[in-house]
Copies of this chain bind each other. A is one copy, B any other.
Amino acid sequence: MLSSGQIKYVSALRVKKYREKSGQFIAEGEKLVGDLISGSFSIAAVYGSPSWILANGPLLIKKGIPFFETLPQEMERISTLSTPSPVLAVVEIPEPPPFTPEPEPGSLHPEGCFYLALDNIRDPGNLGTIIRIADWFGITTVFCSEQTVELYNPKVIQATMGSIARVRVIYCDLVKVLSGLSLKIPVFGAFLEGDNLFKQDIPVEAVILIGNESHGISPELEPFITRKLVIPSFGPSETGKAESLNASVATAIICAEFRRASYQRQ
């Protein structure tokens, strides 16, 4: 049984103001909570169904994580999901990762070193999905403009599906970061007009810059862009066409193409 104070406290963490005040955020689901527990995050408390606690209690005890058996009707009250999962964790917001405007290109892994830079992504689902894509394609650093949606929004956290535990997300002044990085490695921007993504010589190091869902890439970042890329559309256009792709979908296609190029070099 949870106390009404616990239920109130956890529920309040849906709201940015309370996340900032407490320095904590919520994460739900077996995969996500599992990844956070095994990652470097500090877990303040875990709320789990009786059977989840039965299976995971020993690990929680070993790690010194407080846990509370939570009944389905209690889980419904603290969960942000329409179908609550068997586990919800309250997690400490970590210190922001060190601000490194000029990371060492090539230092990260032998298949090449790509960075993502997100210019004012506003949709939480897009940001979380992009972090998951970065994780899949071995992109370890994602730079976000300061107007990008907050990382600890529950919808962002859920959409990362645990990748939040492995990808370094740095909120920063993108003008500063790109002005530094663009001196060393090319910066490719995703546009609706530009050079065909599929006809490029892909370098082994690059920044991939993705713009806002409605407004694209900010004009003040354009001077740092080495090349504008477009994902070509196909088929007859007499009847009209999709005007654009979703921001996370565009990110996925570009990241996949950059990684595919490494096979051609092999």
- The answer on a CB contact under 8 Å between B242 and A136 is yes
Q: Which of these binds chain B: A55-63, A88-96, A99-107, A227-235?
A: A227-235
- Bound together, the chains give a CA A39 to CA B262 distance in angstroms of 42
Please tell me which one of the listed residues B109, B129, B233 contacts residue A235 in the complex, with CB atoms under 8 A apart.
B109
Query: What string of 1s and 0s marks CB contacts (under 8 Å) between A138-154 and chain B?
Result: 11100000000000000
Copies of this polypeptide in the complex: 2
> Taking the complex as formed, is A260 at the interface, i.e. its CB lies under 8 A from any CB of chain B?
yes
Q: Which of these binds chain B: A20-28, A171-179, A180-188, A243-251?
A: A243-251
Please tell me which one of the listed residues B161, B198, B246 contacts residue A260 in the complex, with CB atoms under 8 A apart.
B198
Chain B residues whose CB sits within 8 angstroms of the CB of A236 once the complex forms: 109, 138
Please tell me which one of the listed residues B31, B111, B232 contacts residue A243 in the complex, with CB atoms under 8 A apart.
B31
> Taking the complex as formed, is A135 at the interface, i.e. its CB lies under 8 A from any CB of chain B?
yes
A interface, size bucket: 35 or more
- Bound together, the chains give a CA A31 to CA B244 distance in angstroms of 11
Chain B residues whose CB sits within 8 angstroms of the CB of A257 once the complex forms: 256, 260
- The answer on a CB contact under 8 Å between B234 and A111 is yes
> Taking the complex as formed, is A162 at the interface, i.e. its CB lies under 8 A from any CB of chain B?
yes
- The answer on a CB contact under 8 Å between B245 and A132 is yes
- The answer on a CB contact under 8 Å between B111 and A242 is no
- Bound together, the chains give a CA A230 to CA B9 distance in angstroms of 43
- The answer on a CB contact under 8 Å between B166 and A240 is yes
> Taking the complex as formed, is A133 at the interface, i.e. its CB lies under 8 A from any CB of chain B?
yes
Seen from chain A, the residues whose Cβ lies within 8 Å of a Cβ on chain B are: 31, 35, 38-39, 108-109, 111, 125, 129, 132-133, 135-140, 159, 161-163, 165-166, 196, 198-199, 231-236, 239-246, 248-249, 252-253, 256-257, 259-260, 262-263
A-B contact pairs, 18 of them (CB 8 A): A108-B235, A111-B235, A132-B246, A133-B242, A137-B233, A138-B234, A140-B235, A161-B242, A162-B243, A163-B242, A166-B239, A199-B263, A232-B259, A234-B259, A245-B252, A248-B249, A249-B252, A253-B253
Q: A129-B246, A166-B239, A248-B249 are in contact. List 8 more A-B contacts (CB 8 A).
A: A132-B245, A133-B242, A133-B249, A135-B241, A136-B242, A198-B259, A199-B263, A234-B259
